[in-house]
C-alpha cells in the first residue's frame, strides 16, 4: 500500500510528542510506516503513551468498522500460518487488502517472544496489499495480544477490508478471540480420534466454521473421517447462533485446496449474520466487553502500583504461601488498602 497524494502535517520522533491528528491522517492515507508507529503506540504500556493511543483511536473511529474480522485458531502444528499465507494471497489477488495480526506466545520467564510470523508468511510479508503484524501475547488470556482489538481498528482505518487474527493455539482461554471477531474459524488435523481427546469443548461451542487442514495426498481418507467425526461432535453441542450451523470443510493450505470454498462460507456467514442483525448485535456486545476488559486491566494496574499495597504485598504473598494467612484474609487486607 502506498501513500496517497494528500499532504499531511509532519510528525515528531518521540511517540509521546506525536501530533495525534497528524498521525491519524497519515494512517487514514494508507501510510504503512505510520500504521506500524500507531500500533506500537497502542501496544505501549507507558501511561503517557496510553492517553495518546486512546486519542488516536478516537480520531480514527469514524473510519473503522467496515472490515471482515476473522479469528483463526488451531492446535500447534495444524498449519495456521501456512493456511493464512495462502488464503491471504488468494484474497489480495482477488482485490482485497488483508491485515494479519499474528500473536506469538510470550515466554513466562522472560516475557519475550520470537515474532517469527513474517518468516512463516513469506508471500504476505512482501505483498503490497497485505500487512503482517506479529505481536507478543504478553500473557494475555486467550493468546491474544493485549491491544489486538485496538490494532484491528487502526488497520481498518488504514484501508484493510479483511482482518485475520491468528491466535497462539487451542485451549479454554483461547476462545477469547471469538469475542472480538465476526467469524471464528477452528483448524483441525486429520485423525479426529486423537484431536477430539485434546480439544476443549468450549472451542467447538464458539466455532463458526471448522476446517480439517492438510487434507491433500495420503491424508484424504483420514481427513474425510475426521470431518465426519467433527460433524457428529457438533450435533451434541448447542449452536452458537440460531441462524447458523457450523460447516466442517476439508482444506489444504499447502496445496491451496478448498480455500476458495472456505472463503465463500465465511462470506455466506457474514451475509446471514448481517441480514438477521446478529453481526451488529455481536459487535455491540463486543464493545461493552472490551470496555470491561480495559477497566479490569486499569484496576489491576492501579492495584499493583499502589504504594500501600506494594509495601504489604510481598509479606501477604509469603504468608499465603506458608499457610499462615488465608487467601481470603489477604484479599480483604489488600481491598482495604485500596479503599474498596
Q: What one-character DSSP code corresponds to residue 240? A: S
CA distance 55 to 93: 35
Q: Confidence band (pLDDT; 50, 70, 90) for 17?
A: low
Q: Give the torsion through C-alpha atoms of 98, 103, 104, 106, to 10 deg.
A: 160
Residue with more model confidence, 203 or 62: 62
Place of cell 486429520: 190
CA distance 43 to 163: 18
What is the tens place of the pLDDT at every residue in 118-142? 567 889 999 999 999 987 655 555 4
What phi-psi label fits residue 207: left (phi over 0), alpha (psi between -120 and 50 degrees) or beta? beta
What is the tens place of the pLDDT at every residue in 196-250? 545 556 788 889 999 999 999 999 999 999 899 889 888 888 888 999 999 999 9
Q: Do 247 and 209 touch, CB atoms closer than 8 A?
A: yes
CA distance 171 to 175: 7
pLDDT at position 11 over 70: no
pLDDT at position 262 over 90: yes
What is the tens place of the pLDDT at every residue in 169-196? 655 446 678 888 999 999 998 875 555 5
* pLDDT score at 171: 56
What is the tens place of the pLDDT at every residue in 27-59? 999 999 999 999 999 988 887 888 899 999 999
CA distance 183 to 102: 16
State the distance between the two ends of the chain, measured CA to CA, in whole angstroms: 50
Residue 253's contacts (CB-CB under 8 Å, 6 or more residues apart) are 79, 82, 83, 84, 85, 86, 87, 213, 214, 259
Structural domains present in the chain: 15-61 (1.20.5.170), 64-276 (3.40.50.300), 286-338 (1.10.287)
Amino acid at each position: 500500500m502506498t501513500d496517497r497524494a494528500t499532504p499531511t502535517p509532519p510528525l515528531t520522533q518521540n511517540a509521546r510528542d506525536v501530533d495525534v491528528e497528524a498521525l491519524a491522517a497519515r494512517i487514514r492515507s494508507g501510510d504503512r510506516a505510520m500504521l506500524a508507529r500507531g500500533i506500537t503506540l497502542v501496544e505501549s504500556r507507558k501511561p503517557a503513551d496510553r492517553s495518546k493511543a486512546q486519542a488516536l483511536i478516537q480520531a480514527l473511529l469514524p473510519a473503522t468498522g467496515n472490515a471482515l474480522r476473522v479469528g483463526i485458531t488451531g492446535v500447534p502444528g495444524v498449519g495456521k500460518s501456512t493456511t493464512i499465507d495462502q488464503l491471504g494471497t488468494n484474497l489480495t489477488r482477488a482485490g482485497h487488502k488483508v491485515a494479519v495480526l499474528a500473536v506469538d506466545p510470550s515466554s513466562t520467564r522472560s516475557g519475550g517472544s520470537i515474532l517469527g510470523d513474517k518468516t512463516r508468511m513469506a508471500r504476505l510479508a512482501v505483498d503490497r496489499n497485505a500487512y503482517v503484524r506479529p505481536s507478543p501475547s504478553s500473557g494475555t488470556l486467550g493468546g491474544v495480544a493485549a491491544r489486538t482489538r485496538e490494532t484491528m481498528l487502526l488497520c481498518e482505518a488504514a484501508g484493510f477490508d479483511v482482518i485475520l487474527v491468528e491466535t497462539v493455539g487451542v485451549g479454554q482461554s483461547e476462545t477469547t478471540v471469538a469475542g472480538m471477531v465476526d467469524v471464528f474459524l477452528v483448524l483441525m488435523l486429520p485423525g479426529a480420534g486423537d484431536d477430539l481427546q485434546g480439544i476443549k469443548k468450549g472451542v467447538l461451542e464458539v466455532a463458526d466454521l471448522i476446517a480439517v487442514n492438510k487434507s491433500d495426498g495420503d491424508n484424504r481418507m483420514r481427513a474425510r473421517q475426521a470431518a465426519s467425526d467433527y460433524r457428529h461432535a457438533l450435533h451434541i453441542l448447542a449452536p452458537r447462533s440460531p441462524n447458523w450451523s457450523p460447516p466442517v470443510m476439508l482444506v489444504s493450505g499447502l496445496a491451496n485446496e478448498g480455500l476458495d470454498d472456505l472463503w465463500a462460507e465465511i462470506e455466506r456467514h457474514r451475509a446471514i449474520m448481517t441480514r438477521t442483525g446478529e453481526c451488529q448485535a455481536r459487535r455491540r456486545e463486543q464493545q461493552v466487553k472490551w470496555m470491561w476488559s480495559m477497566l479490569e486491566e486499569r484496576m489491576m494496574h492501579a492495584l499493583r502500583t499502589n504504594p500501600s499495597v506494594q509495601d504489604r504485598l510481598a509479606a501477604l504473598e509469603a504468608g499465603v504461601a506458608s499457610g499462615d494467612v488465608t487467601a481470603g484474609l489477604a484479599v480483604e487486607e489488600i481491598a482495604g488498602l485500596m479503599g474498596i
